[in-house]
Amino acid sequence: MLDTPVVLTIFNRSDLTKLVFQAIAQARPKRLFVLADGPRSPDEAELCARTRAVTETVDWDCDVKADFSEVNLGCRRRCASGFDWVFSQVDAAIFLDDDCVPDPTFFPFCEAMLEHYRDDMRVMMITGSNYLESWKADSQSYHFSYFGSPWGWASWRRAWKFYDVTMKSWGDEEIKARIRDVLADEECFVFQARRFDALYANPGDRHSWDLPWSFARLLQSGLTVVPAVNLISNRGCVGGGNALPPTHPIANLPTAPISYPIRFQVSVSVDRLYDQRHIRRFTARDQISSKPRVQSGTLYHRIARKLGRRLAHMLRGVGD
């Protein structure tokens, strides 16, 4: 059985929820938290009820707690309030959305990382997603990044306490300069700044809970543990989900089991080459440029033109 609590966030997709719930059932966590948003319309109420019913079929010894909203809060408020609720009761947890299907090794990997880095304040998150699918897997089990996908993740209360859903500090130019220094790569900074700018300018956004989480980690120079192979497949893009077209490079990524025993890193330091390739895969720009770096203003506009309107919308709604 899994000692670390698992948190499952659901809404109105019962078929996808069944896939994720089956994976959780195989891991047999001792504690399970289920978060659900309310329907957006009377017609959606039946879909939400059907999805919630999936999580009521626990057939192993498990303490289940549910936080079901009867009104629609939107993903941003529902996740932020729900995760606050979870961390008010536990010190650490593993999180899955209703469309993020994990490889079975995802759970013991998260549990091992949560224990190993429990008291290391430099590490703020563990992710199960590796957008490159494999990164130095022949020589390591994981690496550290300033980016971290929310498609299957884990963290501690001590890290989540820095979360601010409003991102109010982003309006401070000194804060922006600090994050630029943390990333120490103009392309990486422009990538995140553009996304933070868009969300900060739209406080009524109902979707992006995860960008404030990325911001909170960067503000603390917090690192994310990334597995050497991809452990999460986001199936929500199969039908052309709201955030990504199903043909995007990171949609429906295949998973692979992580090898055991885990090879723990001897140092805690960011892999900057991975970070650069990560954002280029995210923006569907896979090739590493050998051209000299240009000035930041020019680079900013080049990336903005490259992304286009559709991808710019995607960047506001998909976790890093």
pLDDT interval class at 247 (50, 70, 90)? confident
pLDDT at 246: 74
Does 106 score more than 70 pLDDT?
yes
pLDDT surpasses 60 at 308: no
Residue 315 has a pLDDT of 45
What average pLDDT score do residues 89-93 get? 98
pLDDT at 295 over 70: no
User: Is residue 306's pLDDT more than 60?
Assistant: no
pLDDT band at 177 (very low <50, low <70, confident <90, very high): very high
Q: Give pLDDT, residue 291.
A: 33
Report residue 140's pLDDT band, with 50, 70 and 90 as the boundaries.
very high
Q: Tell me, what's the pLDDT at 254?
A: 94
- 244 or 160, higher pLDDT: 160
The arithmetic mean of pLDDT across residues 38-52, rounded, is 96
Q: Is the pLDDT of residue 127 over 50?
A: yes
Q: What pLDDT does 283 receive?
A: 83
Domains with residue ranges and CATH for the chain: 1-98 (3.40.50)
Residue 230's pLDDT is 98
Given this model, what pLDDT does residue 250 score? 87
HEC readout, the chain: CECCCEEEEECCCHHHHHHHHHHHHHHCECEEEEEECCCCCHHHHHHHHHHHHHCCCCCCCCEEEEEECCCCCCHHHHHHHHHHHHHCCCCEEEEEECCEEECCCHHHHHHHHHHHCCCCCCEEEEECCCCCCECCCCCCCEEEECCCCCCCEEEEHHHHCCCCCCCHHHHCHHHHHHHHHHHCCHHHHHHHHHHHHHHHCCCCCCCCCHHHHHHHHHHCCCEEEEECECCEEEHHHCCCCCCCCCCCCCCCCCCCCCCCCCCCCCCCCECHHHHHHHHHHHCCCCCCCCCCCCCHHHHHHHHHHHHHHHHHHHHHHCCC
- pLDDT at 161 exceeding the cut of 50: yes
Q: Does position 314 have pLDDT exceeding 50, yes or no?
A: no
Q: How confident is the model at residue 50 (pLDDT cuts 50, 70, 90)?
A: very high
Decide if pLDDT at 309 tops 50.
no
Residue with the bigger pLDDT between 307 and 103: it is 103
Predicted local confidence at residue 297, as pLDDT: 43
Q: Give residue 238's pLDDT band: very low, low, confident or very high (50, 70, 90).
A: low
pLDDT tens-place string over residues 199-212: 999 989 998 999 99
pLDDT at 287 over 80: no
Average pLDDT over residues 232-248: 71
pLDDT at 282: 83
Of the candidate ranges 20-24, 188-192, 279-283, the one whose mean pLDDT is the lowest: 279-283
